C-alpha cells in the first residue's frame, strides 16, 4: 500500500473536519441553508515523512531532534464548505506551504521544551507562536499557516463565498 502524499493528506483531513462540522450541526437550528463551516488541518513534513502530533515525550524529542539544523515544510489545508438552498454542498479548499528552518537545538533545550507542555498537541511537536519560536532561524511562507490557520488563503476563500472581509470587519474583533 502506497503512503498518501502529504498534500493529499492535509486536504483530505481538512475536508473531513468540515464534514464533521456539518454532522455536529445536524438536528440543531443551524442546519438552515447557507450554513458555512471552515476547517483546517496542519502537518509538518520532514524528509518526506509526516510527523503528526507526538505520542509521548520520547516521540516529541525524536521529532525535535529531526528538525534541529534542518528545513522542513509545514502544510496547512483549509476547507470552506457551505450548505446550499437545494441541500447541496459547495466546498472549496486551499493549501498553504511554508518552509521552516530550525537552528541547532541541544538535547537540554529539547528536554526543557518538552517540560513546558507546549509540544504535546502540536504537529511536529512544536508551536511557532510559543516558546519554540526561539528555535526557528528562517521561515519562507505563511506564519499564520504554520500556526494552523493561513489567513491569506482563508480570506481568499471567504471572498469567493461572498463574505466581505474589510478592514472594518477585522477591527471589530
Our answer to whether residue 41 is catalytic in this structure is yes
* Euclidean distance between CA atoms 60 and 70, whole angstroms: 16
Catalytic residue from among 8, 41, 86, 121:
41
Q: Hey, which residues are catalytic here?
A: 41
Amino acid at each position: 500500500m502506497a503512503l498518501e502524499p502529504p498534500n493529499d493528506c492535509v486536504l483530505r483531513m481538512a475536508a473531513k473536519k468540515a464534514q464533521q462540522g456539518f454532522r455536529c450541526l445536524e438536528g440543531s437550528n443551524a442546519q438552515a441553508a447557507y450554513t458555512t463551516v471552515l476547517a483546517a488541518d496542519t502537518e509538518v513534513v520532514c524528509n518526506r515523512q509526516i510527523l503528526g502530533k507526538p505520542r509521548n515525550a520520547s516521540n516529541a524529542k525524536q521529532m525535535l531532534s529531526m528538525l534541529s539544523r534542518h528545513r522542513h515544510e509545514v502544510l496547512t489545508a483549509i476547507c470552506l464548505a457551505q450548505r446550499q438552498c437545494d441541500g447541496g454542498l459547495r466546498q472549496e479548499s486551499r493549501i498553504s506551504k511554508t518552509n521552516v528552518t530550525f537552528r541547532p537545538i541541544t538535547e537540554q533545550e529539547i528536554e526543557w521544551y518538552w517540560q513546558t507542555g507546549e509540544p504535546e498537541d502540536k504537529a511536529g511537536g512544536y508551536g511557532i507562536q510559543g516558546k519554540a519560536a526561539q528555535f526557528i532561524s528562517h521561515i519562507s511562507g505563511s506564519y499564520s499557516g504554520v500556526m494552523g490557520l493561513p489567513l491569506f488563503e482563508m480570506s481568499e476563500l471567504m471572498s469567493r463565498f461572498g463574505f466581505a472581509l474589510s478592514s472594518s470587519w477585522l477591527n471589530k474583533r
